[in-house]
Structure 1
Amino acid sequence: MTHVRLQSEGQRLVLDQCDQSREFTALWLRERSSDPQTRDPRTGQRLIEAAELPLDLRLESAESVDHALRLHFSDGHRCDFPLQELLDEAVDPPQRLWDAASAPAPRADFSAALHDDAALLAMLEALQRDGFVMVSGVPGEEDGMRPLIDRIGPLRRTNWGGIADVKSVANAYDLTMTQRGLEPHTDNPYRDPIPGYIWLHCLANAAEGGDSTLADGFMAARLLRERNPEAFDCLSQVRPGFRYRDDTTHLESEGPLIELDSHGEPMRVRYSNRTERMPALAPDVLDAYFAARRAFHELITGEELTLHLKLDPGQMLIIDNYRLLHGRRAYQLAGGVRHMRQGYVDRDSTASRRRVLRRQAETNASGEPA
């Protein structure tokens, strides 16, 4: 049962439900109205100029009618606002942060995700919740993961092409193409935009070593805030630069190691020891930054947060590049070949696919026409 009440002379609407209250302003409700005079019925895009609505707009009345709010505004506008749309304003489910002891094991099957919407939705929701998912049954061809990428969104092309090799080569143009171990890092912080998701497909992994590591950067940020708030504040404010350069490419960008959203919560982590280029800031700022970076480094490289795994041929990791840090142990080719294929998919197309599939699943469950 939802109770509706007005406050502040009608400029605020309050919904009381299950011992919780949510408050909305009259002006926000007016510009979100879905009636055909306010929004185009086909596109859902706004037809009125929201910036021209009266700043002192208020609600004359509000009542709950058949799972909707019947609203009457002071400018004469009337509309029925779907009640559930207000209650579900936070679209995405919460993320589940983890350390090594509580690390999840989200799994998906390539063929099922490729052919079944429910399986694909489950894979994408696991990716959003846990920051990674392990996919099995990927075809052994060099571009074997491409059909599933195409079902979600366009493959992100970079100066390395689309799906690229990750294996040891002579005259390597990047340290990923060597046998050395790689410290925990996020990919490509020198790009704008930074690639959202890493797809890493194993074709062969018989080399000695070469195990992959994952660490939840959001959990690291949470622990840093609890244990060393000064370091957390420093890493969310100071903006190091990052650069990649070769004979044909020169990429540069900047941003904090811990980027916060409008609520002050981590929304992206950056960490790339190989490509970071810290500007010559004031000495006291640099002293604080270097100490804070070390504290963060100790967290993301420590066993408390590090998940170890080794991909088998036909397996693939999909990794949230805004949240997780990944790395690998050094390997020796005496035991055999280590050959991975890697591609990127951006966040907007991935989130869009997940939300559309979720909406369709909810529509089918309710029995309403799609």
Structure 2
Amino acid sequence: MTTSAKATLSADGQRLTLDIDARPREFAALWLRERAPDAETLDPLTGQRLIEAAELPLDLALEHAELSEDALALRFSDGHRVHFPLSELLDASRQGLDGADAADLVAPGRVLWDAQRAKPQHTSFAAAIDDDAALLEMLEGLHRDGFVVVSGVPAEEDGMQALMERVGPLRRTNWGGIADVKSVANAYDLTMTQRGLEPHTDNPYRDPIPGYIWLHCLTNAADGGDSTLADGYRAAQLLRERDPAAFDCLTRVSPGFRYRDETTWLESEGPLIELDNQGRIFRVRYSNRTERVEALPAEELARYYAARQAFYQLITSDELTLNLKLDPGQMLIMDNYRLLHGRRAFELAGGVRHLRQGYVDRDSTASRRLVLRQQLASKEEAA
């Protein structure tokens, strides 16, 4: 696994420094004790903790640490002994062998793109239905790029549902399950009109916000109506590079978002650029139609308006905007925490534009990807 490794304890034994290939990682003794991968600490079947971590002494220390092949032999001051695989420590540490560390702007596994570098994963609906490897390839592409294009979806109103059920349950909202996206009289939402839509993320007024958007094209013969996509992570990255003060402002100020109709009242809030606990971009929000910023002090609002404008100019720029027109039987699956999507205005004189849309949550999608990855890897090892 490694070319060189060294384990060193602090004077009080409460910290262990693991130096692998000249890249040090520090671990607290308490953390190592509560995460000890043995049957006394973790249930072998569920992986859930058997000991009460809050009852461990706060001055718990390591009395001995010794490297043994690909494991670390540890002895704690409470008498517990364990062999900790180095691979588990590397996976758990913030800085791994792939060069990613806590200072990275996005989590490992993502590829940021602009209009020139967008290379979406293309997947066959039939293959993803019948073949776990094809389904995993689709989900890996979705995780990596933030969107995939699926072809060969049955030209039926709920044609996407069979594939959706291979990933996770349909997220139902006040609009039902899979809903129409087409122009209607007396529209209750601007998506149901012929106007163009600015880049946006869906439903920031919900808690939780839907994780993935599934958009299936039944017919797209109207003049115009092309979809637009922009990588919100890339836009945030460029904003930090070009205007750090604007980036900081959009991570601090949390506007509200609201949706109301005769039967529904939804409100939530959050920054346009949300960071995780390692300072990496976790989620972007943008919904001009539903945003309602509070009456903050005038100077703070001035900073926010300027920062929002700078971000808007990026997500609407030719530099970042990918244009595509879905054909009947094609479907977009989009990461609603990352992708900003919109559309050009369209004219019904040229024909009908009818799409269907549904949501699948983030946790079930991630779970399906990780379980499939593990299952297929196990099959390859057994072959």
Normalising to structure 1: TM-score of the pair? 0.96
Aligned to 2:52: 49
2:177 pairs with 152, 159, 162, which one?
162
Match of residue 242 from structure 1: 257
Which residue type is aligned with residue 152 of structure 1?
Answer: V
Partner of 2:9: 7
Amino acid at match of 1:118: A
2:71 to 68, 71, 74: 68
Structure 2 residue 364 is the aligned partner of structure 1 residue 349:
yes
SS in 1 for 2:279: coil
Unpaired segments ≥5 residues, structure 1: none
Is the Cα contact below 8 Å between 2:120 and 2:141 reproduced in 1? no
User: How big is the shift at 1:41?
Assistant: 2.0
1:70 positional shift: 2.1
C-alpha distance in 1, partners of 2:14/2:168?
42
SS in 2 for 1:199: strand
Partner residue in 2 for 1:24: 27
* Alpha-carbon distance, 1:138 to partner: 0.8
> Is the contact made by 2:221 and 2:352 (CA closer than 8 Å) also made in structure 1?
yes
Tell me the amino acid that sits aligned with residue 71 of structure 2.
A
Deviation larger for 20-29 or 150-159: 20-29
Q: Deviations over 1:73-117 (max 9, x none)?
A: 111001122221222236974211111111122111111111211
Partners of 1:151 and 1:63 in 2: CA distance: 45
Q: Could you tell me which of 324, 330, 333 is aligned with 2:348?
A: 333
Q: CA deviation at 1:184?
A: 0.2
Aligned residue type for 1:318: I
Please name the residue that 1:183 is paired with.
198
Aligned-partner residue type, residue 207 of structure 1 = A
Partner of 2:312: 297
Alignment counterpart, residue 238 of structure 2, candidates 218, 223, 244: 223
Secondary structure at 1:165's aligned position in 2? strand
1:71 partner amino acid = L
Give identity over the alignment, percent: 71
- SS of the aligned residue for 2:144 comes to helix
Residue aligned with 1:88, SS: helix
Q: TM-score, normalised by structure 2?
A: 0.93
Conservation of the 8 A alpha-carbon contact between 1:156 and 1:346: yes
Counterpart residue number, 1:151: 166
Is 1:313 paired with 2:328? yes
The CA deviation string for residues 297-316 of structure 1, in whole angstroms up to 9 with x for no partner, is 10000101000001001110
Q: Where do residues 354-365 of structure 1 align in structure 2 (5 Å cutoff)? A: 354-365=369-380
- Cα distance in 2, alignment partners of residues 46 and 105 from structure 1: 40
Q: Deviations over 1:201-228 (max 9, x none)?
A: 0000011000000001111111111111
Rounded to whole Å, the distance in 1 between the matches of 2:79 and 2:376 is 37
What SS does the corresponding residue of 2:332 show, helix, strand or coil?
strand
1:33 aligns with 2:36: yes
Counterparts of 1:21 and 1:172 in 2: how far apart (Å)?
A: 59
Native 8 Å contact 1:4 1:62 kept in 2: no
Shift in Å at residue 271 of structure 1?
0.4
Secondary structure at 2:139's aligned position in 1?
Answer: helix
The answer as to 2:287 corresponding to 1:272 is yes
Q: Distance in 2 between matches of 1:147 and 1:155?
A: 11
Structure 2 gap ranges (5+): 97-106
What's the secondary structure of 1:289's corresponding residue? helix
Q: Is the 8 A contact 1:4 1:13 kept in 2?
A: no
Q: Deviations over 1:99-142 (max 9, x none)?
A: 11111221111111112111111111111110000011111111
Q: Where does structure 1 differ by over 6 angstroms across 4 or more consecutive aligned residues?
A: none
Question: How far did residue 3 of structure 1 move?
Answer: 1.6
* Count, aligned residues: 368
Q: Residue 123 of structure 2 corresponds to which residue in structure 1?
A: 108
1:197 to 192, 212, 216: 212
Q: Which amino acid aligns with 2:88?
A: E
The one-letter code of the counterpart of 1:268 is R
Q: Provide the C-alpha distance between the structure 2 equivalents of 1:28 and 1:142, rounded to a whole number of angstroms.
A: 51
Pair 1:282-2:297 in alignment:
yes
Provide Cα deviations, 1:129-161, integer angstroms capped at 9, x if missing partner.
100000111111111110111111110000000
Q: What's 2:186 paired with?
A: 171
Q: C-alpha distance in 1, partners of 2:275/2:8? A: 33
Is the contact between residue 6 and residue 20 of structure 2 (CA under 8 Å) also seen in structure 1? no
Q: Distance in 2 between matches of 1:72 and 1:109?
A: 53
| Kept after mapping to 1: 8 A contact 2:7/2:67 | no
CA distance in 1, matches of 2:219, 2:282: 34
Write the distance in 2 (CA, Å) between the matches of 1:345 and 1:196: 6
Paired residue secondary structure (1:244): strand
What secondary structure is seen at the aligned counterpart in 2 of 1:359?
helix
What is the CA distance between 1:268 and its match in structure 2? 0.5
Helix, strand or coil at the partner of 1:334: helix
**2:100 aligned residue:** none
Determine which of 110, 113, 120 is the counterpart of 1:95: 110
